[in-house]
Structure 1
Amino acid sequence: MPIETIFGNLQGLKPSQLKQLRRLYHQRIPGDRITTPEFAQRLAAVSTEINKPVCAYLNRRGQVIRVGVGTPRQTQIPLMELPRYGAERLSGIRCIATQLKPEASSDAALTSMALQRLDALVVMNVTASGFKKRGGAASGYVKEAYLAHLTPQDSRILTATQGGGNISTSDYSPPSWSISPPMSLDMLGKQDFMDLVEGLEEEFRREYTALDVDSDHERVLIVGIMTGDLSSQEFQDTLAEIARLVDTAGGDVVQMLQQKRNRVHPQTVVGEGKVQEIALAAQTLGANLVVFDRDLSPAQVRNLEAQIGVRVVDRTEVILDIFAQRAQSGAGKLQVELAQLEYMLPRLTGRGQAMSRLGGGIGTRGPGETKLETERRAIQRRITRLQKEVNQLQAHRERLRQRRQNQGVPTVSIVGYTNAGKSTLLNALTNAEVYTADQLFATLDPTTRRLTVPHAVSGDRQEILLTDTVGFIHELPASLVDAFRATLEEVTEADALVHLVDLSHAAWLNQVRSVREILKQMPVTPGPAIVVFNKIDQANSETLALAREEFPMAVFISADKRLGLENLRQRLGQLINYAVSSQ
């Protein structure tokens, strides 16, 4: 981009006027001054000449780096082009703006300052001097000026959002700023700019340090959209789950914002005002990642990132990231990579002209394909190869299952919502040493162990094979279902299922429904299942009573405390007898 590009509304400007605007790039201000009377008057003269407001953006060396025609809001620097120093720093850029007529509200200019984290914003009221230059145009002079800058937030506002995972949705407060009384250019010129900026950044650093921020973790802003028939409680449960997913992925949730809409906005999911609020919150709280509680289209991600200025991801991408961290076996890593590539492929489009050799100009014409097409082709080849490997894995597991069936050993798979305690139950029943943690998707690879249970008829002991499987989640991403089909077949091919439910979870009933919905969508109908309520030691009496009423045939246990396991063994023997006799 040429260094003397003029931004904003250039309609109706003459070549001579554009030349005057470009000359502003050759001006320089002493580094310790906000502006000088000479530069301010020159800006006022140009603004009066074209009869439009003008904004000049300067760096800390006093160089003009951007000239725009329009208000600070209309000429602001795109957020993706601004330096990202974090919440403890300002952007290193100030804006000197002219204003030809008093505005009813300065909120738009101040919001623009906050979005860009400008060092300072100077708004100058310009009026015609009455003196006419050659050609008849009146020159302009600065009647008065106002100086505005950001002020640090009270750290209590920020730390209120970080309390053991209990994230509030209403603690966000818009950024605060300080606006000076009207002053003359001489008074403005005497302000020590570097002293002002260094003092502000020192205050920002103190407030930021008070948050005890772990720089190794991403600071995440979560956005939830409530649409359709979702109840308020279900929506809050959804927000709590996405916060837990972010925490499991290694991010720190600094704030949640939400909006209720009849339908999502096709370009930005949320409305224009909410997008601006998200951008302000990200700047104010130092967030470097925005996570939406639903899947986003590639175009929506691009639009949001351009307007918010930080990376934007959706729920599926967070889950894929967790899976990538959790995968241990070769099979698990294979399936995760396949899911990630299938997710990435449709999102390659629109990554900018840098991806294309067909944009026009010297060196771009002639035979060949775009860089985008080359990358897409490479990813498609990798996907094809991975799918073949998944098919081989599928065939291998099918042979193992067939061998077990030939041995006449019944199989039972433990299914359930993620973090229901499936691995803990397998360990408690079989003395296995499967990794367990109070985290979502702690287990990706299925583990099978032998278990002895009473025979339902003879009372003798019989062996069964008990398999721990990957956890389910509400609206399980289709890419994961496809990639993990080899693993999920452990569920569909089992003789019977243990549907494990975390009874201590506030949304346990919705989790039951989600798991049943996923099981219904399986290509092969799974075998008979019993519902087993886990973590009864952490559930209250009202929840226990409701569960017994809704599920009278269920088994109640605590895998961690080893409560009710003998009763579960008895019921497993009955379940296997029923499953085998029904085949």
Structure 2
Amino acid sequence: METIFGNLQGLKSSQLKQLARLYHQRIPGDRLTTPEFSQRLAAISTEINQAVCAYLNRRGQVIRVGVGSPRQTQIPLLELPRYGAERLSGIRCISTHLKSEPPNEAALTSMALQRLDALVVLNITGTGFTKRGGGATGYVKEAYLAHLTAQSRVAIASPATLTASSNIPSPSWNISPPLSLDVLTNQDFLDLVEALEADFRREFVAQEVDADRDSVLIVGVFTDDTTPQQFQDTLAELARLVDTAGGDVLQTVQQKRSRIHPQTVVGEGKVQEIALTAQTIGANLVVFDRDLSPAQVRNLELQIGVRVVDRTEVILDIFAQRAQSRAGKLQVELAQLEYMLPRLTGRGQAMSRLGGGIGTRGPGETKLETERRGIGRRISRLQQEVNQLQAHRSRLRQKRQHREVPSVALVGYTNAGKSTLLNALTNAEIYTADQLFATLDPTTRRLIIPHADTGETQEILLTDTVGFIHELPASLMDAFRATLEEVTEADALLHLVDLSHPAWLSHIRAVREILAAMPVTPGPALVAFNKIDQVDSETLALAQEEFPLAVFISASDRLGLETLRQRLALLIEYATSSR
């Protein structure tokens, strides 16, 4: 027997058979419904004294039958065809209603979530007669036709300015006045759908949406352990991460909660709002501002109907795009596999690692059509290679130490200007960009500085390292341990801070927390504030007051570099004398 969805409690087997027979009905392709099919729905609905919903495709075939309202019987969003923001789902719902009233907001919201071609509500009433067997029959008293309409979507915001939630767009729909069954059944359904989709296509083109970039809805959850400013800084940083990964941030949804919901992070009502917003603005990816468990990802994707990723997955995707050297690719793939392993359930058997959007790219194999055991073997091999890489770098460091050449590691928050500073000091030509995580692979160059005591010149090694970020994923910390050892093995650290960033103080705290969590305590550090050409006098005075021993420079304009060299000489003198 075909599956009947919804509330089946108390139904007789004969009634279930009547519902199952609806699957064998077929409506002409250009009609919303027919009088015969509508009356049959009315008769069944009256007999069981419940609403009945039939879902039909554009060929007029019944593909789903449910007992209950459109909200109670709706198709799971992940099972719907995904045509994009310019198309409807190709499915319509014909629903009975035991009261004489227009479709309610829950039914209309369900229509919007599923992007249905149309919602037909048949208000039915009893005839006063009984049919053979004693059950009451009924007929269609009046009908309502509802459908979505194209509306202006939210303009794509700049990640640098997107720090607060925009107004949530409400779906736009049209509800007809009460119609007789004859008027309803004589409407040309295909003409209606073609006109609607033409409007959606015009709207889609007008927004200049780039089909090669993910359209992203960001979700932020504000809890009591975070200040409002920290929360807004986190959202702004996440928008920047999404932009760096190749996504367009369309909108941000926020919720304040005393604690995180264990199943869905946000509350049930907010999940529905997120799903509706994603459909309304045409988002194909939802990004949360915190790490999600595998169960939370599955629950959210089922209810929202689009891919859901967390902050860590966005960072991993950026690393996958940025990795250039064999060592970098090796470490990124290891981090991705360790992250992916507990999340295999519900993600499909064939997982493309190339070109599928944020969270799906990777420098490893083109496809991972394998089970957990196979991925586990791959992780073991990669860990062995990372260990070999670690041993190789250790030998190189030992050679440098035998030559007694002091070393300084450049550390700092991502996009602080470390690579630009290395280029300015050593005339190196490593890649620089105003992007997060532009550098993944450590680069070491010789730097000549004055000797602190004699005033003569001396040679040191300056190493550019991967940028840190607030709550750096543990999988990355582990995978990049060979790279991060450049930090722990250096004689001293040069902690570079982007003073032009509004959250520079929290960046300093984040870097220090990561350094404190390392298994080997790094050497002494000199704080250098970068980009002073982009800050006002008030910010500069605050930084000088909070960090009186810091150096203030502009790597791009080469300001303060001679002072920095002199302070590096003092730092090296202190670090080597205390060994």
Cα deviation, residue 136, structure 1: 1.6
The one of 68, 72, 95 aligned to 1:74: 72
2:578 corresponds to:
582
Q: 1:347 Cα deviation (Å)?
A: 1.7
Deviation, structure 1 residue 189: 1.4
Shift of 1:488: 0.2
| Separation of aligned partners in 1, 2:334 and 2:514 | 21
Would the aligned equivalents of 2:159 and 2:236 in 1 still touch at CA under 8 Å?
no
Distance in 2 (alpha carbons) for counterparts of 1:443 and 1:163? 23
Q: Secondary structure at the match of 1:522?
A: coil
AA aligned opposite 1:81: E
Equivalence for 2:258: 262
- Provide the rounded CA distance (Å) in 1 between the counterparts of 2:468 and 2:13: 64
1:302 is the counterpart of 2:298: yes
Alignment match of 2:55 (pick from 54, 57, 80)? 57
The alignment status of 1:378 with 2:409, answered yes or no, reads no
Alpha-carbon separation, structure 1, partners of 2:299 and 2:429: 47
Instruction: Tell me which residue corresponds to 1:358.
Output: none
Unaligned runs of 5+ in 1: 356-371
- Report the equivalent of 2:128: 130
Deviations 1:37-75 (A, max 9, x none): 121111101111111110011111111111111100000
Contact 2:407 2:461 in 1 (8 A): yes
Amino acid corresponding to residue 25 of structure 1 in structure 2: Y
Counterpart position of 2:43: 45
How has the CA–CA distance of structure 1 residues 350 and 163 changed in structure 2, closer, same or farther, with 3 Å as cutoff?
Answer: closer
* SS, match of residue 409 in structure 1: coil
Structure 1 vs Structure 2: percent identity of aligned residues? 79
Is 1:421 matched up with 2:414?
no
Q: Does 1:8 align with 2:6?
A: yes
Q: Does 1:538 align with 2:534?
A: yes
Which residue in 2 is equivalent to 1:147? 145
Q: Deviations over 1:163-206 (max 9, x none)?
A: 46423512321111111111110111122211111111111111
Q: Check if 1:520 corresponds to 2:520.
A: no
CA distance in 1: counterparts of 2:346 and 2:190, whole angstroms: 40
Amino acid of the structure 1 residue aligned with 2:42:
A
Say if 2:385 is the partner of 1:389.
yes
Question: C-alpha deviations, 1:131-173, integer Å up to 9, x for none?
Answer: 2111221210111111111111224xx11x4246423512321
Deviating runs (4+, > 4 A) in structure 1? Answer: 102-105, 349-355
- What letter is aligned with 1:43? L
Counterpart mapping for 1:404-483 below 5 A: 404-483=400-479
Structure 1's 434 and 419: CA in aligned 2 closer, same or farther, altered over 3 A?
same
Q: Which residue of 2 aligns with 1:199?
A: 195
Paired amino acid for 1:11: Q
2:313 alignment partner in structure 1? 317
Taking the aligned partners of 2:82 and 2:383, their CA distance within structure 1 comes to: 40
> 1:240: which partner in 2?
236
Higher alpha-carbon deviation: 182-191 or 443-452: 182-191
Alignment-mate amino acid for residue 74 of structure 1: Q
Distance 1:432 1:175 in 2: 54
CA positional deviation for 1:542:
1.3
d(CA) in 2 for partners of 1:12, 1:351:
37
Q: 2:552 aligns with which of 533, 541, 556?
A: 556
Following the alignment from structure 2 to structure 1, what is the Cα–Cα distance between the partners of residues 369 and 117?
42
Shift in Å, 1:103? 6.5
Deviations 1:255-282 (A, max 9, x none): 1101000111000000000100111111
Q: Supply the AA of the counterpart residue of 2:573.
A: N
The 3 A distance-change label for structure 1 pair 480 and 540 is: same
Give the match's secondary structure for 1:532: strand
C-alpha distance in 2 between matches for 1:85 and 1:386:
38
2: CA distance, partners of 1:23 / 1:505: 65
Asked if the contact 2:159–2:239 (Cα under 8 Å) also holds between the matched residues in 1, the reply is no
Matched, 1:169 2:179: no
Provide closer, same or farther for how the CA distance between residues 388 and 410 of structure 1 changes in structure 2, counting only shifts above 3 A. Answer: same
Match of 1:25 in 2: 23
How much has 1:229 moved relative to structure 2?
2.2
1:352, distance to aligned residue in structure 2 (A): 7.9
Instruction: Write the deviation string for residues 280-304 of structure 1: whole angstroms up to 9, x where unpaired.
Output: 1111111111111100000000000
Q: For the residues of structure 2 that align with 1:534 and 1:91, how far apart are their CA atoms?
A: 52
Determine if contact 2:159/2:243 at 8 Å carries over to the other structure.
no
Question: Is the partner of 2:371 in helix, strand or coil?
Answer: helix
Q: Which runs of 5+ in 2 are unaligned?
A: 352-367
TM-score by length of 1: 0.94
**CA–CA distance in structure 2, aligned partners of residues 448 and 261 of structure 1:** 46
**Cα shift readout 1:445-478 (whole Å, capped 9, x = no counterpart):** 0000000001111000100000000000000000
Distance (Å, rounded) in 1 between the aligned partners of 2:102 and 2:259: 33
Root-mean-square deviation (CA, aligned residues, Å) is 1.7
**Alignment match, 2:355:** none
CA distance in structure 1 between the partners assigned to 2:103 and 2:182 by the alignment = 26
Distance 1:77 1:349, change over 3 A: closer
Q: Residue in 1 aligned with 2:86?
A: 88
Moved more, 192-201 or 406-415: 192-201
The Cα of 1:101 is off from its aligned counterpart by 2.7
